[in-house]
Structure 1
């Protein structure tokens, strides 16, 4: 299992930024690796995790497991290292949208801004979807401090571990039909996606488009996923 800094330094972040600008998401194949993916998947149902039913939350069917007691050290390191690289692109997005605020270079500094704004509830979680389970279209943009990108990862093996359960996104542009997007993920793959609004370059310059994501119905087996957020909820 490679260290986060080593693995991320090998990536072309200029190209990743271009993909985020064009599509609102970028897939990083095999970034976590199968070993770490399996280790994280085993933490679903672990005692430190807070279980929330997707049905009770009105978000579909299945279960979420929140890292209220803190994330496992490898995952916390990944989150901090990813933030450090994504803050550059997030600040560029704010500039394109004429937003005056800028994100600090380090995750700890941004999380302090969250606490100052009354946002201290963890949002990062594992998801466990069995047969007929799904996650409805949604976004998490509550609070004054919202980072415009988040990370999702697949921790189960498509085909052998489950069938169905595709990762789906939609993008709503003003006065246009929603644009559907599907990101085919393998076990250990990571996708960086827009959290909510993102800039889109149209004929008259940049404007905001609205981004949501979901997981389609699982037809067989169990799908374990991960969502990492860089901002906390109120």
Structure 2
């Protein structure tokens, strides 16, 4: 699960083209379903989505520390993603570069007063949903994040599609539904990314959401590489 066996050239190309990259079956069904149990063991804090105005359902926020698998994923994936993020910075004409290790980047977070973890599990029942949003709070924002589906569409729930939208200059927003299955992971842009145009790269902004659950219960994961204030 350290990312060494992944085709990073293909992942990089898909992120450049679409703003997301799918990693089908990256988690086994057992590992995917087991994460909810680890959340309870670690005492994750339950936060109603309605309290933040982001929809309805529940978030389980990792305030006492991430489960061990998520700690390992963040540390292992960060250097690969930082290389993509730095290439994006160059394309957008931004001088700031992301450091080579997650520890160095989180130190920058602390220096900027960003100490609140944003990674969480979501639990959505019938009628629940998550509105379009971005995890871009703070001075130090990493431009990529990870999402995963921990329950099975058509078996555990219906509806609950994971949706991204991109706002391009002078164009209407472009929606995309990511066809996630149990254990699938997707890397997505957190906010801005470059797109190559006829006159050079330009910025597009991404938001993501989860559609209304029509039956059952949907469990998902969002893993962020930066903290919030």
- Give the TM-score normalised by the residue count of structure 1: 0.95
Aligned to 1:58: 53
1:34 to 29, 45, 53: 29
Give yes or no for contact 1:45–1:51 (8 Å, CA) kept in 2.
Answer: no
What whole-Å deviation, never above 9, does each CA across 1:8-58 have from its counterpart, x for those lacking one?
Answer: 111110110000000000000011221210110234555611111111100
Give yes or no for contact 2:145–2:187 (8 Å, CA) kept in 1.
Answer: yes
2:199 to 200, 204, 213: 204
The count of residues paired between Structure 1 and Structure 2 equals 229
Aligned to 2:13: 18
Give the match's secondary structure for 2:176. Answer: strand
Task: Give the Cα separation in 2 of the matches to 1:137 and 1:225.
Answer: 15
Give the match's secondary structure for 1:42. Answer: helix
2:161 to 166, 174, 182: 166
Task: Give the Cα separation in 2 of the matches to 1:88 and 1:32.
Answer: 24
1:82 Cα offset (Å): 1.2
Asked if 1:99 is matched to 2:94, the reply is yes
Structure 1: which 5+ runs fail to align? none
Asked if 1:144 is matched to 2:139, the reply is yes
1:81 to 76, 99, 122: 76
Task: Give the Cα separation in 1 of the matches to 2:39 and 2:126.
Answer: 16
Structure 1 vs Structure 2 CA RMSD: 1.0
Structure 2: which 5+ runs fail to align? none
Task: Give the Cα separation in 2 of the matches to 1:126 and 1:31.
Answer: 17
Aligned to 1:188: 183
4+ aligned runs moved over 2 Å, structure 1: 41-47
1:49 to 40, 44, 53: 44
Q: Which stretch shifts more, 46-55 or 206-215?
A: 46-55
Give yes or no for contact 1:55–1:61 (8 Å, CA) kept in 2.
Answer: yes
Give yes or no for contact 2:74–2:225 (8 Å, CA) kept in 1.
Answer: yes
